[in-house]
């Protein structure tokens, strides 16, 4: 693999603008190469340069055998560049400037341009790196303060009667191995004091500060110590309050009255604090890893580009420039490496009982490996699905089932039961395609959704689940297709009618199964997000929550099919399908429309919650969009109940038209970020991930057309001579699912670009303690 592709693959996508522009500098070098090729002198070329150099070496003075590799002064003729650090006013870090010593030579202006661009890129990289290191230092300081409070809380929880002061702590620290005869001190407390020793730290690391966290050395660099976390006095607990994000509706209601929870010194409280600190340390360590990788790949990029310059320009400038790079802050700073060492040591001591391997396993989760059996199984099940579809088509044509007397009963009773699985399978296939294209265009979907590292599903795994469910559903369709279409096989009627219910039961049991099978972490993540959607006002709305709620709005026919399951089997109509009255019952009709409104209402409540919390009027307009859809559904219901009265028909048409136009505009302009008038890409946006701009225009047109199909579903579908009403509903529902799949890609692409623009590459982990004031405390 060429370095350019390797360089791109190693990038933190949210920081890609802060990396060295390797391709841009390569373009400048290509210009230099083309200029040299155009201006090559053909008469002189008869004597090759290499042979001339070799011939001249025959007459060069002999330098001896022992002095060849001594550090002799450089020949001025070989000097190509000079690099100086220019100090700017108010800046701790100077800007590096390269002076090209041979601008008068042919093509020198191109080389001069190259070094100017190179200096700009290097200064950009070093400034960004310096800024991120300072952020890590500040976060390390905050983690130190949090650990002070955690250790004090541990001491208080393990022995509630103890009251230490500073003198007592110093005494215990100096004599931590001595046990009291009375046994009043809990063993865990002694272990906490013993862990305050820095026995794993070398002398250089110990020169850092102890509890304040930040100190300047002689060379001006900041060094932060998070490794000590020395036990603070219990007085710390008088200045902190718990800051635990509400996890239940009850705790959310309590949080409205009081945002900070007072310490109660319980083991349950301590366990929650430790869990939060483990997450904070894990995310902090991941930040350090990415920052270290950022430094390494940029150093490699500068080295590679200078070697290319030497080769193209026939110079020897890379050594001089790389010496400057190695001596700069980017090449010589070691704060990140030392912070990583301290985090490893202290995390192992504090949260892994000294087990180094266990501690590193938590801090460094293994990356997920692709398994060949997943690919094989997905291909096998997809092949089986296609074979079953072909079998169904052959059965329908061979037995002329479409003209059978039982066609209408089958379409009204059994077809809605199976289309539920068809909607789910299609949505999963679209999601699998979304993941494939997100990965292809390097959209960091795992970070955006907040998946735990190593547990996110790949597109092959989602495709495997969808194809497996498709095989089960199609097999069940074939198993009772002939029986339901044959009026003479009534003796098996009750048994065959239970096949869809059995399949639904299996799917639900697998989804909620607590055993660690079939991607348990992903199943529970889905269930947790679904529960938050149901309890929308009582939970803080995150991107996975409202993203899932948007998916549910496109699955209204599936929810109606679930409601049909309850009616069909709950009221016993499956025993006598010919007497099915589910669609005629007033109670059933009320639930039929209520089920359609619930997903949009949940999304509306989420918008209102975000409006209250974030005070952004954008969420008010977004909530108004969902409210317009709810109004359209209600007026359509009134139109049907009033038997097509003109007033209700006009209201339904107007409200549906307004909702369609509003939703289409919001999809394209707000969610996708397109139709920017002053964009460098006409009527798109400045930054695009898909190289072919026509894809975006086609997507916008498809979104409009498919929204019109959705409008037909709102206004009500009528049976056609060719298609049954249930078949028409299923087709329109599939079109809406396809529209949602297209929407998913561009919506997450826009979110990814927003994170890139703001350099947001990490999850924000709330810390467990809030201090009364932000001033540094003296211990």
Q: How far apart are CA 193 and CA 211, in angstroms?
A: 15
pLDDT of residue 33: 86
pLDDT of residue 713: 57
- The total number of residues written for the chain in this structure: 779
- Higher-scoring residue by pLDDT: 204, 620: 620
Position 252 confidence tier, pLDDT thresholds 50, 70, 90: low
Question: Is 71 a member of any domain?
Answer: no
- Higher-scoring residue by pLDDT: 432, 51: 432
Residues 293 and 429 reside in one and the same domain: no
Question: Which residues in 490-569 belong to E strands, given as ranges?
Answer: none
Q: How far apart are CA 673 and CA 675, in angstroms?
A: 7
Is residue 261 scored above 60 in pLDDT?
no
Q: How far apart are CA 714 and CA 711, in angstroms?
A: 5
Angle at 371 between CA 362 and CA 8, to 5 degrees: 70
Question: Is 289 a member of any domain?
Answer: yes
pTM of the shown model: 0.78
Name 85's bridge partners: 96
Structural domain range at position 245:
129-297+304-364
Q: Is the dihedral of CA 203, 208, 212, 213 positive or negative?
A: negative
Most confident option among 182-186, 362-366, 555-559: 555-559
Q: How far apart are CA 425 and CA 443, in angstroms?
A: 24
**Ordered DSSP codes for 628-678:** HHHHHHHHHHHHHHTTS-HHHHHHHHHHHHHHHHHHHHIIIIIIS----TT
**Ordered DSSP codes for 278-336:** HHHHHHHHHHHHHHHHHHHHHHHHHHHHHHHHHHHHT---HHHHHHHHHHSHHHH--HH
Render pLDDT for 519-555 as a digit per residue (tens, 0 to 9). 999 999 999 999 999 888 888 888 999 999 999 999 9
Mean pLDDT value of segment 231-235: 60
Question: Is 44 a member of any domain?
Answer: no
Render pLDDT for 39-87 as a digit per residue (tens, 0 to 9). 765 444 444 545 545 554 555 555 455 444 344 444 444 677 888 777 6
Render pLDDT for 350-377 as a digit per residue (tens, 0 to 9). 888 888 888 888 888 777 777 889 999 9
**Ordered DSSP codes for 455-475:** TPPPHHHHHHHHHHHHHHHHH
Residues 357 and 417 reside in one and the same domain: no
Name 216's bridge partners: 222
- Helices H, strands E: what count in the chain? 27, 6
Residues 318 and 171 reside in one and the same domain: yes
Residues 138 and 287 reside in one and the same domain: yes
Name 86's bridge partners: 95
Q: How far apart are CA 650 and CA 636, in angstroms?
A: 10
Lowest mean pLDDT among 229-233, 258-262, 572-576, 621-625: 229-233
Q: How far apart are CA 157 and CA 265, in angstroms?
A: 5
pLDDT of residue 480: 75
Residues 313 and 413 reside in one and the same domain: no
User: 3-state class of 497 per DSSP?
Assistant: helix
| Cβ contacts of 668-674, under 8 Å, gap ≥ 24 | 668/700, 668/703, 670/618, 670/622, 671/743, 671/746, 671/747, 671/750, 672/699, 672/700, 672/743, 672/746, 672/747, 672/749, 672/750, 673/750, 673/753, 674/700, 674/746
Please answer whether residues 755 and 679 qualify as being in contact, where contact means their C-beta atoms are separated by less than 8 angstroms. no
pLDDT of residue 249: 62
pLDDT of residue 723: 76
- Higher-scoring residue by pLDDT: 688, 207: 688
User: 3-state class of 99 per DSSP?
Assistant: strand
Residues 607 and 708 reside in one and the same domain: yes
pLDDT of residue 46: 43
Q: Which helix (H) or strand (E) holds 396?
A: helix 372-398
479: phi then psi, degrees, rounded to nearest 5 = -65, -30
Q: How far apart are CA 558 and CA 560, in angstroms?
A: 5
Q: Helix/strand/coil (H, E, C) string of 714-763?
A: HHCCCCCCCCCHHHHHHHHHHHHHHHHHHHHHHHHHHHHHHHHHCCCCCC
Question: Which residues in 451-539 belong to E strands, given as ranges?
Answer: none
Mean pLDDT value of segment 98-119: 82
Is residue 605 scored above 90 in pLDDT?
yes
Q: At a CB cut-off of 8 Å and minimum separation 6, what does 325 contact?
A: 122, 299, 302, 303, 331
Please answer whether residues 10 and 293 qualify as being in contact, where contact means their C-beta atoms are separated by less than 8 angstroms. yes
Residues 427 and 321 reside in one and the same domain: no
Of 364, 384, 401, which closes a domain? 364
Q: How far apart are CA 320 and CA 332, in angstroms?
A: 16
CA distances from 88 to 18, 286, 329 (A): 21, 33, 16
Render pLDDT for 115-172 as a digit per residue (tens, 0 to 9). 899 999 999 999 999 999 999 999 998 888 888 888 888 887 777 655 544 444 444 4
Mean pLDDT value of segment 381-396: 92
Position 201 confidence tier, pLDDT thresholds 50, 70, 90: very low
Smallest CA-to-CA distance from 124 within 216, 4, 219, 24 is with 24
Lowest mean pLDDT among 162-176, 290-304, 564-578, 606-620: 162-176
Is residue 179 scored above 50 in pLDDT?
no
Residues 341 and 428 reside in one and the same domain: no
Is residue 27 scored above 50 in pLDDT?
yes
668: phi then psi, degrees, rounded to nearest 5 = -80, -45
Is residue 224 scored above 50 in pLDDT?
no
pLDDT of residue 165: 47
Q: How far apart are CA 561 and CA 421, in angstroms?
A: 10
> 338-351: b or e for each residue (b if 16 or more CB lie within 10 Å)?
bbbbbbbbbbbbbb
pLDDT of residue 262: 59
Question: Is 698 a member of any domain?
Answer: yes
Please answer whether residues 37 and 312 qualify as being in contact, where contact means their C-beta atoms are separated by less than 8 angstroms. no
Please answer whether residues 147 and 156 qualify as being in contact, where contact means their C-beta atoms are separated by less than 8 angstroms. no
Helices (H), 159-207: 166-174, 187-194
User: 3-state class of 683 per DSSP?
Assistant: coil
Is residue 753 scored above 60 in pLDDT?
yes
pLDDT of residue 580: 72
Please answer whether residues 569 and 494 qualify as being in contact, where contact means their C-beta atoms are separated by less than 8 angstroms. no
pLDDT of residue 743: 96
Mean pLDDT value of segment 203-211: 37
Question: Is 37 a member of any domain?
Answer: no
Tell me the pairing of strands 222-224 and 95-100.
unpaired
Mean pLDDT value of segment 413-423: 90
DSSP state of 204: T
Render pLDDT for 467-481 as a digit per residue (tens, 0 to 9). 999 999 999 988 877
pLDDT of residue 226: 46
Record the tokens describing residue 455, joined without a space.
Answer: 């547990």
Percent of the chain whose predicted confidence (pLDDT) is above 90: 31
DSSP state of 498: T
**Average pLDDT of the residues of the chain:** 78
Position 674 confidence tier, pLDDT thresholds 50, 70, 90: very high
- Higher-scoring residue by pLDDT: 250, 158: 158
Domain count, the chain: 2
Record the tokens describing residue 326, joined without a space.
Answer: 């190695």
Smallest CA-to-CA distance from 288 within 320, 244, 324, 333 is with 333
Lowest mean pLDDT among 105-114, 125-134, 724-733: 105-114
179: phi then psi, degrees, rounded to nearest 5 = -100, 140
Lowest mean pLDDT among 150-159, 416-425, 734-743: 150-159
Residues 449 and 578 reside in one and the same domain: yes
Is residue 256 scored above 60 in pLDDT?
no
Is residue 608 scored above 80 in pLDDT?
yes
Is residue 263 scored above 60 in pLDDT?
yes
Smallest CA-to-CA distance from 687 within 2, 16, 10 is with 16
Question: Is 475 a member of any domain?
Answer: yes
pLDDT of residue 228: 45
Name 242's bridge partners: 261, 769
Most confident option among 261-275, 401-415, 463-477, 567-581: 463-477
Please answer whether residues 510 and 518 qualify as being in contact, where contact means their C-beta atoms are separated by less than 8 angstroms. yes
Residues 347 and 462 reside in one and the same domain: no
Please answer whether residues 560 and 592 qualify as being in contact, where contact means their C-beta atoms are separated by less than 8 angstroms. yes
Is residue 409 scored above 80 in pLDDT?
no
Question: Is 772 a member of any domain?
Answer: no
- Higher-scoring residue by pLDDT: 658, 61: 658
Is residue 283 scored above 50 in pLDDT?
yes
Question: Is 36 a member of any domain?
Answer: no
Residues 338 and 421 reside in one and the same domain: no
Residues 251 and 194 reside in one and the same domain: yes
The residue with tokens 């030392």 is 338
Name 224's bridge partners: 214
Position 440 confidence tier, pLDDT thresholds 50, 70, 90: very high
Mean pLDDT value of segment 605-632: 92
């Amino acid at each position: 693999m060429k370095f350019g592709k390797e360089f791109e693959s190693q990038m933190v996508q949210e920081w890609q603008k802060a990396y060295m522009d390797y391709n841009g500098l390569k373009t400048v070098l290509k210009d230099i190469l083309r200029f040299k090729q155009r201006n090559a002198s053909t008469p002189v070329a008869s004597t090759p340069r290499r042979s001339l150099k070799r011939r001249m070496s025959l007459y060069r003075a002999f330098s001896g055998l022992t002095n060849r590799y001594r550090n002799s002064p450089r020949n001025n003729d070989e000097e190509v560049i000079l690099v100086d650090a220019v100090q700017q006013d108010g800046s701790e870090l100077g800007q590096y400037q390269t002076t090209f010593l041979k601008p008068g030579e042919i093509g020198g202006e191109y080389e001069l341009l190259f070094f100017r661009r190179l200096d700009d890129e290097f200064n950009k990289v070093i400034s960004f790196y310096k800024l991120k290191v300072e952020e890590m230092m500040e976060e390390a300081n905050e983690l130190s303060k949090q650990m002070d409070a955690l250790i004090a809380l541990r001491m208080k929880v393990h022995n509630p009667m103890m009251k230490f002061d500073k003198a007592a702590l110093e005494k215990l620290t100096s004599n931590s191995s001595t046990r009291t005869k009375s046994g009043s001190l809990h063993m865990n407390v002694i272990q906490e004091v013993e862990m305050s020793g820095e026995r794993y730290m070398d002398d250089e690391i110990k020169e850092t500060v102890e509890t304040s966290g930040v100190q300047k050395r002689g060379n001006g660099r900041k060094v932060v110590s998070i490794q000590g976390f020395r036990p603070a006095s219990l007085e710390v607990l008088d200045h902190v309050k718990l800051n635990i994000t509400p996890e239940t509706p009850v705790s959310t209601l309590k949080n409205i009255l009081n945002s900070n929870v007072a310490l109660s010194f319980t083991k349950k409280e301590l366990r929650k604090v430790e869990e939060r600190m483990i997450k904070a340390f894990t995310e902090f360590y991941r930040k350090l890893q990415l920052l270290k990788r950022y430094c390494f790949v940029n150093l490699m990029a500068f080295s590679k580009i200078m070697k290319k310059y030497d080769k193209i320009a026939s110079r020897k400038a890379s050594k001089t420039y790389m010496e400057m790079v190695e001596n700069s802050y980017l090449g010589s700073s070691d704060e990140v490496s030392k912070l990583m060492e301290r985090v490893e040591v202290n995390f192992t001591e504090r949260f892994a009982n000294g087990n180094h391997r266990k501690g590193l396993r938590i801090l460094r989760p293994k990356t997920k490996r692709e398994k060949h059996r997943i690919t094989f199984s997905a291909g096998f099940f997809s092949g089986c699905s296609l074979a079953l579809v072909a079998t169904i088509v052959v059965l329908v044509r061979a037995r002329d089932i479409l003209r059978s007397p039982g066609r209408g009963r089958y379409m009204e009773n059994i077809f809605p039961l199976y289309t539920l699985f068809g909607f789910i399978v299609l949505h999963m296939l679209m999601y699998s395609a979304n993941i494939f294209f997100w990965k292809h265009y390097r959209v960091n979907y795992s970070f955006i959704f907040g998946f735990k590292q190593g547990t996110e599903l790949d597109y092959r795994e989602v495709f495997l689940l969808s194809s497996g469910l498709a095989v089960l559903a199609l097999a069940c369709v074939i198993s009772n297709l002939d029986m339901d279409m044959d009026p003479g096989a009534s003796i098996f009627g009750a048994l065959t009618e239970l096949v869809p219910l059995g399949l639904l039961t299996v799917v639900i049991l697998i989804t909620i199964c607590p055993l660690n099978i079939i991607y348990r972490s992903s199943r529970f993540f889905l269930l947790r997000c679904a529960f938050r959607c149901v309890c929308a006002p009582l939970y803080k709305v995150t991107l996975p929550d409202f993203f899932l709620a948007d998916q549910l709005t496109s699955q209204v026919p599936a929810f109606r099919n679930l409601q049909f399951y309850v009616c069909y089997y709950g009221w016993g109509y499956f025993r006598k399908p010919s007497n099915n009255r589910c669609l005629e019952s007033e109670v059933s009709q009320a639930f039929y429309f209520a089920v359609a409104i619930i997903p949009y209402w949940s999304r509306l409540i989420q918008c209102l919650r975000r409006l209250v919390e974030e005070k952004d009027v954008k969420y008010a307009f977004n909530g108004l969009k969902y409210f317009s859809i709810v109004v359209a559904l209600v007026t359509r219901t009134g139109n049907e109940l009033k038997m097509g009265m003109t007033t209700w028909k006009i209201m339904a048409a107007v409200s549906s038209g307004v909702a369609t136009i509003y939703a289409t505009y919001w999809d394209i302009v707000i969610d996708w970020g397109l139709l920017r008038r002053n964009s460098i890409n006409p009527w798109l946006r400045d930054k695009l991930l898909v190289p072919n701009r026509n894809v975006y225009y086609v997507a916008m047109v498809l979104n409009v057309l498919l929204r019109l199909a959705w409008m037909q579903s709102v206004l009500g579908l009528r049976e056609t001579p060719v298609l049954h009403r249930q078949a028409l509903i299923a087709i329109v529902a599939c079109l809406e699912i396809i529209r949602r799949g297209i929407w998913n890609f561009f919506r997450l692409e826009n979110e990814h670009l927003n994170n890139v623009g703001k350099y947001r590459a990490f999850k924000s982990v709330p810390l467990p303690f809030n201090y009364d004031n932000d001033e540094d405390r003296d211990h």
